[in-house]
C-alpha cells in the first residue's frame, strides 16, 4: 500500500514494514518544516500493523540539512519555539516505539545528520559523508545534535567538527559510531536494511518497545537509578506472554512466534 503523505515524503506500507522516503532530490532532500510535519504526522499515528520503519532519501543524498532557501527571519523567541518543535518530532522518531532504520548515502549534513541520529540503526553506503557546518555559518545546531550527536561523538570531537566544518567519510562515520554498518554499494545498503528490518520486526513488540524507550534514558541516569529502571524493564518483559513463547521456542528448538 502506498500513501504519498505529501510532495516531500512518500510513505509505503509493505506488510509490517513502513518505508518512508524523503522526496526532494532536487534539493538534496533538504529538511524543511513541511518535511518535519510529515514525519511528525506519521510517527504520531503509524498504521497499526507496522512494526518497523525504513527511512531513506530519493536520489543521491539522504539529506543535506536545513533548507536555507526556505529560511524565515525569526526573533529569539520564535527561533526557540521552532527548535523545540524539531526536538518534539525527533523525540517522536526516537521514542515513538517503532524501531527505525535509516539508509544513508551522499550528504548527511546538519539537520540531515540530526534526523539520522534519531534513528536506531544506521546503514551507510560508500558515498556517505557527514558534516555539521552550522558553526561556519554563524549559527548553532537546533534539531537535537548537541545531545544525540554529542553522545555519539563526545563533546570534544563535536566541538572540533563544528568549529572547522570538518567532513567525515563513510568509513570515518562507522569508526565514530555515526553509522552501524557500511555496505559496498547503495544496493547492498538497501538489502541490508531489508534484512535487518525483517529480523527486528520478528522480535517481540514489547521488548523492542522497552529497548527503544529505556536504554537511551538509562544512559542519562545515575547508576542506581539506571539499575532500578533495568529491573523494572526486566520485570515487564520477562513476565510477558512473549517471554514464555521465547522460552518454549528455545526448548523446542524452533523459531519463536511472537504476537
Do 208 and 258 touch, CB atoms closer than 8 A? no
Q: Among the options 70, 114, 160, 230, which is catalytic?
A: 114
Strand pairing partners for 54? 19, 101
Rounding to the nearest 10 degrees, give the CA dihedral for residues 139, 144, 146, 150. -140
Give the contacts of 25 (CB within 8 A, at least 6 positions apart): 57, 58, 59, 60, 61
* Catalytic annotation present for 160: no
Residue 114 a catalytic site member: yes
Q: Check 48, 134, 188, 195 and give the catalytic one.
A: 134
Which residue from 34, 9, 29, 31 is spatially nearest to 19, judged by alpha carbons?
A: 9
* Cα 1 from Cα 24, distance rounded (Å): 21
Cell numbers 568549529 correspond to 163
Residues known to be catalytic: 114, 134
Amino acid at each position: 500500500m502506498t500513501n504519498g503523505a505529501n510532495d516531500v515524503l512518500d510513505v509505503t506500507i509493505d506488510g509490517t514494514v513502513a518505508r518512508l522516503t524523503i522526496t526532494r532530490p532536487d534539493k538534496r532532500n533538504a529538511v524543511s518544516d513541511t518535511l518535519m510535519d510529515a514525519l511528525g504526522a506519521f510517527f504520531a499515528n503509524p498504521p497499526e500493523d507496522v512494526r518497523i520503519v525504513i527511512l531513506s532519501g530519493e536520489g543521491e543524498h539522504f539529506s543535506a540539512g536545513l533548507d536555507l532557501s526556505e529560511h524565515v527571519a525569526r526573533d529569539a523567541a520564535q527561533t526557540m519555539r521552532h527548535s523545540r518543535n524539531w526536538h518534539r518530532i525527533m523525540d517522536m522518531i526516537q521514542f515513538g516505539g517503532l524501531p527505525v532504520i535509516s539508509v544513508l548515502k551522499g550528504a548527511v549534513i546538519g539537520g540531515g545528520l540530526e534526523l539520522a541520529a534519531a534513528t536506531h540503526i544506521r546503514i551507510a553506503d560508500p558515498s556517505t559523508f557527514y558534516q555539521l557546518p552550522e558553526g561556519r555559518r554563524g549559527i548553532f545546531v537546533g534539531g537535537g545534535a548537541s545531545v544525540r550527536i554529542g553522545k555519539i561523538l563526545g563533546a570534544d570531537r563535536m566541538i572540533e567538527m563544528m568549529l572547522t566544518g570538518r567532513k567525515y567519510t563513510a568509513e570515518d562515520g562507522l569508526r565514530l559510531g555515526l553509522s552501524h554498518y557500511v555496505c559496498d554499494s547503495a544496493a547492498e545498503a538497501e538489502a541490508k536494511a531489508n534484512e535487518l528490518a525483517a529480523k527486528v520486526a520478528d522480535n517481540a513488540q514489547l521488548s523492542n518497545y522497552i529497548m527503544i524507550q529505556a536504554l537511551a534514558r538509562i544512559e542519562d541516569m545515575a547508576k542506581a537509578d539506571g539499575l532500578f529502571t533495568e529491573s523494572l524493564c526486566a520485570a515487564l518483559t520477562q513476565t510477558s506472554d512473549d517471554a514464555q513463547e521465547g522460552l518454549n521456542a528455545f526448548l523446542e528448538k524452533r523459531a519463536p512466534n511472537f504476537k
